[in-house]
Structures are given as C-alpha cells and as structure tokens.
Structure 1
Amino acid sequence: MSAEELDALLGDPHDDANPVGHAALLAADERREMPADGERLLDAYGMNAEFVPAGYGGRLTRADRLADVQRTLWRRDPSLGLGHGFSSLLASVNVWTAGTPEQRKQAAAILLSGGRIAAAFHELDHGNDFAHADCSAARTDDGWLLTGRKEIVTNLRRADAMVLFARTSRAAGSRSHSQFLVTRDELPADRIHDLPRFPSSGMRGVQLGGLRFTDCPVPADALLGRPGEGMEIALRSYQLTRSVFPAVIVGPLDSALRLAVGYALDRRLYGGAAADLPYVRAVLARAQADLLAVDAFSAVVLRALHLAPESMGVYAPAAKYLTSRIVLDAFEDLRSVLGAQSYLREGRYAMFQKLARDIAPATFAHVSRAACQVTLLPQLPRLARRSWPAGQAADPSLFDLGGPLPPLDLGHLVPGVPPGDGVLGALAGIAGDTPAGTPAGRFANRLRDELGRLGERCAALSPKDTTIGASPAAFALADRYTVLLAAVAVLGVWHTGGDRHPAALLPGVLDRLCQRLGGPPVLTEAEREEAEQHLFDTAVRRYRESRLFDLSARHVPG
C-alpha cells in the first residue's frame, strides 16, 4: 500500500457524496465524532500496519514512507489522522524501542487486528513535564500497584491497551519513572475509573479521556525495559515521532493553501479576482515558500533517522519546534486572504476553519515548543565548541530525497550529546560549490556568517542558560539555531537534487527563512518580487492541475 493508493481511497474531497469528503468530515466534526466511514476505510487500508515494524508483520521500514502516508491522511482530516492511528504510533514506538520480543508481538497483534494502543503519559498538573508525573506504580511481590490519574489521553476509552508512564521511585533525577504495557482487560474493573471526556475546540472528534487508578494491580511482565528507564525510553522513542510529525503537518497546510488559492481565484473584488491584488499574491507565494521549507527540512530530518541517528537528540526537537511555528504562522497569513470565510463552518471553504482549529495544538501536543528549546539549550555550547568549527559534513545522501536508506533501527537512537552536526557541517561545502554572485550563493554566505556569530554566542552561554531557567536571550539562540538548520537543509536538498527541484523557487524559500533571522535582506526588492512571482505562479499552476504544493508535486484526487 502507498500514499497514492490511500489518496485514491479517500477520493475527491469536494464530492458531497464522498463519505470521507469535506462535507462528511465537517458534519462529523460538528457532532464531535470520529467519522465512522473514514475509520472503516482506514481499517480496509490497514493503516495500523504502518506503525508496526516489518519484522513483526507490519509495513514500517522507512520513516519517510510512514510520514508520506500519514501526511496524506492528515491532508484530508487531522482529527482522523490523530484519532485513528497516530496516537497508536506515539504509544507503540516505546514498545518497539524497549519491549521484550513477547511485548512487541503482543503490541503488533493488537494493532494488526485493528486495535488501538493509547499513550497514557499526560497529567494536567504537569503537562509536558513528565519528570514530575505523580501517577505511581509501587512494587509488590507479584507485580505493581498503580495509583493516580492520567488525563487528556487520546483514545483511552477506545484503546485495547495502553503504554503508561508512572513514577516508580521517590528519588529525584531521571531514573524515577518507568513505562508499562498493559491491556484494558487485565485490569480489575473496580480499581479503575474512567473520567469524563475532555471536550476541545480543535480535534473535536478525537476522544480525549482520562483514568483514575486506585491500588490497581499490574503484572510484573508489563514493565517496559528496566525500572527507572521510563524517561530514557521516551527520549529515544520520541525522536522518531517528533521527526515524523513535522513532515505530517505539511498535509493540513497543503489543504489550507489549496482552499486559499481557490478562493483568491474565484473571489471578485474591484473589478477583478482577489488573486490580482499584490498583497494576496504575496501571501499565497509566501505560504507556498513556507510549505516547501517545512517539507525540505522535515525530509532531511527523516533521512537522518536512518543515516545519522546519533544526532537525532538535536534534529528531532529542532524540527518539531520550528516547523510547528512556521505552519501556524502560515495559517494565520492565509486567514487574511479568506477573511470571514476562514471562520464560517458552512460552505465551500468551511474546511479551513476546521483545519486551523485542528492544527492549533501542534505547538504543544506531544511536546511543547518551549520544551524543545530546553532540550536544545545544553547541546548548543558543545556543538559550538566541538562540531561547528570542525565543519564535519553529513554525507550528501542525507539531502537526496527519495534515495535509498538502510532499514530503520530504533536501537541506534540514543539520548544525550550528539557527536556532531553534519547538516550545518555541510554548509561550507555547499557554499563553496555555489556561485557567489547568484542569490543562492549570497544566501549561503549569509548563513555561513550567521553560523559564525551563533557559534560565538552559544560557546559563551553560562551553565544557567542551558537549563529551564535560561534567559530569553538564550532561548532566542535556540530559535536561531533551528532556522539555520532548516535553511542549510533546504540548500542541501536543492544542491543535491539538481533539476528535481525548480531552481527558481529556492530564493523565495530561503528568503522566508532568513526573514526569521532578521538583519538586512539578501535579495533586492526586485529579486524578491521575482521570487514571489515564481512561487505564486507555481501555487496557481499546481492548484489548477490538482497537484500537491510540496516537493513531490504529485497528482491528487479532485
């Protein structure tokens, strides 16, 4: 099965008779329900097999393939994407990382039979701060006793099993929590209590639930890994999901841009189409640039899971942090094109308001943007002193999108200090290969200068500025690092891809990223207008040809 086959099953989104078209999805959202026909379609496709490694009977072999399939689904409906499957990936990846062969077989059997596994990590009192989670598991002679609450957990009532994060020691430090794989039917009904569903403004069809445990017995063999390894397992496992998610959210942005382009071409204003107005053209062009930037950056990070797994402790949080911000900013820009239509819950463009609500949790779901920055801060001084000056470049295959990859091996993912930063290390070589007088050459030189300044400032960070108590200036350095990383990834993709990626689009994409760095513009005003014209023309052409706005530009239904 492929993303193209899933697109064919999903059909034309504008067909009112399509059970997974926009009309049906909006109606289910108004009812705060998961679209039943959509879930049946995904079961027929075998979506859960995408989350199971091939060695256990599934289809998970490449991270970019997993992201492509999920992006296809999220392009149609983020609520369906999260509620039907992605939540099971968030849970099961911990099993593939640290489970015994028996636990992995158990999880695979649940998923391949159409079941669900919930990731019971979250507690309202602590949010993303899992190190202070209070739900506890006390050791007994024959297992463990669970006491406490888990809240805002996707599919908790509908799940056949859960991966549960619980405190197993009162000692301070990173070894105080563990993870457990438990099935619902092995828990005594009188020791667990379902909390009322938590309603939400976005992802309204997703079942957000909670559980209260009272001295609830859990068998000894439910433990994942060893006692106290819960945080380490999560840090390793979520390098996969935090790398996949940035690529997935390109899908909703693609749909939002398609709606905005269609509206701008159809809307009549001042004797012409709204798309004739310079401001509207600029907004659409910049959204196209943002989408391409997120696509290229996330694609490089996905390839790094296979080719540079030792660096994912930096690349995964960097991608999650920056791409969520770019996507949300692009949605707000596109809202200015649609105007009142961006809020209406009925009509041809009503899907925009649903997409905007559904994508809003991207900044904090799974891990917040601030938590990503806190993860990056202690790495920056080390990279500034040891990696960036050495300029050790990643293999060019890292930027060769679609190229061959070794099988995904989660055992190679490690928490802690990455030995290097091959993406930024590639900048010098790319700059040397790019003619200095061209816009791309000028951008490369600008980025090289920015990296030098960033290195000096990061090397001088105080110990306090590498912790949660860091100054705003230190957090700003983490932000600049992610933008530089994305810009070099974009340069690398275009440099390696040759004619596969239109050269005329590169200046506009890099211009958008460099605007986030501040400072004097690299492009002249005339060059920027030309770059945005290319981006606008590309967006309109792809809209009319029913092609995706991402780097693949493949045909889609409707």
Structure 2
Amino acid sequence: MDFNITEEQQMILDMVKKMVQQKVLPRAAQIDREGVYPEDMFQLLREQGLIGMAIPKEYGGSGSGVLSFCLVLEEIAKVCYNTAYILVMTFVPASCLLEAGNETQKEFYLNRLASGKYRGAFAVTEPNAGSDIGAIRTKAVKVNNSYILNGRKCFITNSTVADFIICFAKTDPDAGRSGLSAFIVDKNTPGLSIGKIEDKMGGKGVPSAEIILEDCHVPEENLLGKENGGFKIALRSFNRSRPVIGARAVGLAQGALDFAVGYTKQREAFGRPISKFQGLQFMIADMAMQIEAARQLVYKAAWLVDQGKTDLKTAGIIAMAKCFSTDVAMKVAIDAAQLLGAYGYVKDYPLERYIRDAKSMQIVEGTNQIQRVIIANSVIG
C-alpha cells in the first residue's frame, strides 16, 4: 500500500493551506458566533474549484476521488468546522445521485452541484425515526404521474439554503424498510416548506431545520432509483459519506492539538514552559497517537470507497473509521481544552468551540452506537 501523497494532491493541499490561513481562519469564530450561513465561504470554495472535487468529470466535477476530498476536508476542519461542513453538504446529496440517479438526473443535478449553482440536502431523520430508518412515517402515494408526499423531517442540515432535497418516504407503509423510496424534491415544489430552524450547540453556520411536506406533488421522474429501493440507496450513500465525516473529525482533532501544543510552548509555570512537564507530554503523546490512528483508518475507508468496494467487511471498516475518528475528535478536543486550563473554557479561545462542534459528529450519519452494531455484524457475519 502506497502512503505517499501524489503530486496533484500536494498541489491541491498547498493551495488549500494558503486559503485556510488567509481566508477561512479569520472568519471561523465569527461564523460560530453569529450563527449565519457563511455565503462568503461557499463562494470561496466555489471559486477555488473545491465544491465539485469528488464529483466525476463527466458531470462537471474534477473527479479527484473521495480520498483527495478527505485530505482537503481535513485541512479546512483544522480551523473551521462550518466551512468544511459546506463541502460535506455538497458531497452527501451528490453521493445519493451517483448511487441511484438515472442519467438525466445525474446530468442535471450533479452538474449544478459541481458548479455551485445548486445546493442540496438529504432528508431521512424524523421525530420518531433516526437510526431506525425503517420507522419513517412520511408517506408517498402514487397518483397519476406524481407522488404525493406527506410527513415531517427534522434536523435536516442545509435545508434552508438547498435548491433540492433528497427525501425518503414510504411507498409501501406495511413493508418496513423494504417499503422506502427516495425522491428529489425541488425547493419550489408546492407543499414543501421549512419549519423550525434548530438552535444548535455547534455547527452553527450551517443551519439544520424541520421540513414539512403537505400534499407535496413530486413528479414521477424525480423518483430516485426504483420504487421501494430507498433503503439500499440510504445505506450505500451513508457508506460513501462516512469517511468524509471521519476526515472532518481528524481535521478538528488535529487543529485542537496544534492550538493546544502552541499554547503549552509559550505558557510558563514554575519557571519553564508547561510543555516541558511530563504529565502534559503524556497527554499530548496520547492525543497524537489517537489522531494518527484515526487518520489512517479514515484514509483506508476513503480508499475503499474510491475502489468501489461495497461488501460487508468494507462497511465494517467504514463504520470503524467514522466511529473511531469522531470519538477521537471529541476526546482530543476536551483534552486540548484541559491543556489550556481556564482559557480552554472561554470563548476568546477556540477550544470550547471545537468541543461543541465535535459532539455532532458522534451523532450524524448514524450514531456511533449504530456504527458499533455495523462493526459487530461485519465481524460476526
């Protein structure tokens, strides 16, 4: 296995590192504080050609692959969770379209996602259906040449700015998860509205909101994949996106460690920098080990996705990457704040923001408890 970064990847990373320091870092705290979607960051990512990185060239993207996309996400997430989140929210709906879209759907929506003309969202979660997507209650009834959708979705990230939303609904309510279908719902579709916008603990720059579907007429050509095939679409899309969540977690953890180490080098106690004290050195060593282990697991998972692997063992490794990296991000963020003492607890320093942002990644794209179920199933068979 080759662990070297390619020349093309290094060129992209050099550009991204410069962009992050000059443009993203100065905005990170303000985005969190104001809780407003950072349109300037979206436009920056668009101008730099990063929005469509993981979308194939035939659909307007650069076709760089999931691993290269993860490298970029990691770099951005070191300083700004929200800006990295914008890229994730292009990748997730694109994954659904790549997984199940017909040629007409791919040509229309992927080209618009890649160019930044369109933004998308992914709507699975409901008040009574999170990890158990078979419990979804939103219904889709076929009438003539349309499906009529009725139901409510919650915690749908990017929904307030999305041009289309991929919604999952029951076309056969009595069939459990086997009765799920996926639909592309354009934002101007009659019957679609945005409800409560959540006041979140973290990830404040990228809104999450309730979606209300009331006699929402979706044309039959907007069915994604086959009727009653939505469960497989969701699972395969999750497998594609989980390494991306992992990369964001690795970046956040590395950013937290970098900031904390810098602080320990300049903060003095008992006549010397606190970085010289063995007790703190052990904490730093543990954090560095955990981050590097998470990084390699995420890179392997991303590589497997790029290779088109979809078997049970691969699903287990992808779940390991998402679960381990996000648990590491949470632990490292807390330990990094501890290294700063009281300064780690105040908003003048970024560590409390890293803690708040890290928490969501243990929940999204399948909670880490669900990831452990997937891992166990892949091991037991």
- The normalised TM-score by structure 1 is 0.63
- The residue type equivalent to 2:303 in the other structure is R
Query: Size of the alignment, in residue pairs?
Result: 368
The answer as to 2:3 corresponding to 1:29 is no
The yes-or-no answer on 1:364 pairing with 2:363 is: yes
Structure 2: runs of 5+ lacking an equivalent: 1-10
- Report if the CA contact (8 A) 2:163-2:186 is conserved: yes
The 1-side partners of 2:198 and 2:56 are apart by 32
Q: In structure 2, the residue corresponding to 1:378 is in which secondary structure? A: helix
Superposition deviation, residue 157 in structure 1: 1.7
Picking from 10, 13, 25, the partner of 1:3 is 13
Instruction: Select the residue among 325, 328, 331 that pairs with 1:326.
Output: 328
Q: Is the 8 A contact 2:301 2:317 kept in 1?
A: yes
Q: Distance in 1 between matches of 2:329 and 2:193?
A: 38
**Paired position in structure 2 for 1:192:** 192
What's the CA shift for 1:2?
1.4
Note if contact 2:196-2:209 (Cα within 8 Å) is conserved in structure 1: yes
Aligned to 2:121: 118
Measure, in 2, the Cα distance between the counterparts of 1:168 and 1:299.
Answer: 37
The answer on whether the counterparts of 2:119 and 2:162 sit within 8 Å (CA) in structure 1 is yes
Q: 2: CA distance between counterparts of 1:9 and 1:370? A: 36
Cα 1:307–1:20 change in 2 (3 A) is closer
Question: Shift in Å at residue 308 of structure 1?
Answer: 7.1
TM-score of the superposition, structure 2-length normalised?
Answer: 0.92
Alignment of 1:344-423 (within 5 A): 344-346=346-348, 350-382=349-381
> Secondary structure in 1 aligned to 2:175?
coil
Identity %: 23
Contact 1:20 1:37 (8 Å CA) reproduced: no
Kindly report which structure 2 residues correspond to 1:137-176, keeping only aligned pairs within 5 A, or say none: 137-176=140-179
Deviation, 1:99, is 0.5
- Alpha-carbon separation, structure 2, partners of 1:51 and 1:107: 14
Distance 1:131 1:161 in 2: 23
CA contact (8 A) 2:25 2:80 kept: no
Match of 1:234 in 2: 234
SS of equivalent residue, structure 1 residue 49: coil
Give the deviation of 1:87 after TM superposition: 1.5
Corresponding position: 1:312 with 2:314: yes
TM-aligned CA deviation for residue 161 of structure 1: 0.8
The question of 1:53 aligning with 2:63 is answered: no
Aligned to 1:388: none
Structure 1 contact 142–219 (Cα < 8 Å) conserved: yes
Alignment deviations for residues 70-121 of structure 1 (CA, whole Å, 9 cap, x no partner): 1122222111211x22112112201101100000011123213312011111
* CA–CA separation in structure 2 for the residues paired with 1:244 and 1:28: 22
Secondary structure at 2:167's aligned position in 1? strand
Offset of residue 52 of structure 1: 1.6
CA distance in 1, matches of 2:302, 2:254: 19
SS in structure 2 at match of 1:50: coil
Q: After superposition, where does 1:449-528 map in structure 2 within 5 Å?
A: none
1:74-223 matches, within 5 Å, as 74-82=77-85, 84-114=86-116, 115-185=118-188, 187-188=189-190, 191-223=191-223
1:287-344: CA deviation from partner (whole Å, max 9, x where unpaired) = 1111111111222222222447133222111221222212222222222211111121
Report the residue type matching 2:354 in the other structure.
L
Q: Equivalents in 2 of 1:35, 1:213: separation in Å?
A: 27
2:267 counterpart of 1:264: no
Match of 2:278 in 1: 278
Do the aligned partners of residues 59 and 376 (structure 1) sit closer, same or farther apart at CA in structure 2, a change above 3 Å counting? same
Indicate the SS of the match to 2:51. helix
Structure 1 residue matching 2:197: 3-state secondary structure: coil
Structure 2 match to 1:421: none
For residues 331 and 19 of structure 2, the distance between their equivalents in structure 1, rounded to whole angstroms, comes to: 31
**Deviation per residue, 1:338-357 (Å, 9 max, x gap):** 111112111xxx12221221
Partner SS state of residue 63, structure 2: coil
Q: What secondary structure sits across from 1:47 in the alignment?
A: coil
Mapped to 2, the partners of 1:305 and 1:156 lie a distance apart of 26
**Whole-Å Cα distance in 1 between the matches of residues 365 and 33 of structure 2?**
25
Cα offset for 1:48?
1.8
More strand by share: 2
How far apart, CA to CA, are the structure 2 residues paired with 1:38 and 1:233? 30
Q: Which amino acid aligns with 2:209?
A: G
> Is the CA contact 1:110–1:160 (under 8 Å) kept in the aligned structure 2?
no
Aligned with 1:76: secondary structure? coil
| Structure 1 unmatched runs, 5+ | 13-18, 383-558
Q: Which residue of 1 aligns with 2:294?
A: 294
**1:253-281 CA deviation, whole Å, 9 max, x = no partner?**
11111111011111111111111211111
Once residues 168 and 36 of structure 2 are traced to their aligned partners in structure 1, the CA distance between those partners, rounded to angstroms, is 28
Distance in 1 (CA, whole Å) between partners of 2:35 and 2:326 is 25
Pairwise CA RMSD: 1.7
Offset at 1:62?
2.3
2:36–2:206 CA contact under 8 A, matched in 1:
yes
Query: Aligned match of 1:64 in 59, 67, 81?
Result: 67
SS in 2 for 1:235: helix
Q: Is the 8 A contact 2:123 2:156 kept in 1?
A: yes
Residue in 2 that maps onto 1:251: 251
2:82/2:203 contact within 8 Å kept:
yes
* Distance in 1 separating the partners of 2:203 and 2:106: 29
CA contact (8 A) 2:13 2:71 kept: yes
Deviates more, 1:107-116 or 1:97-106: 107-116
Q: Rate the CA distance shift 1:378–1:262 in 2: closer, same or farther, 3 A.
A: closer
Q: Distance in 2 between matches of 1:31 and 1:60?
A: 34
Counterpart for residue 527 of structure 1? none
Q: How many angstroms does 1:243 deviate by? A: 2.3
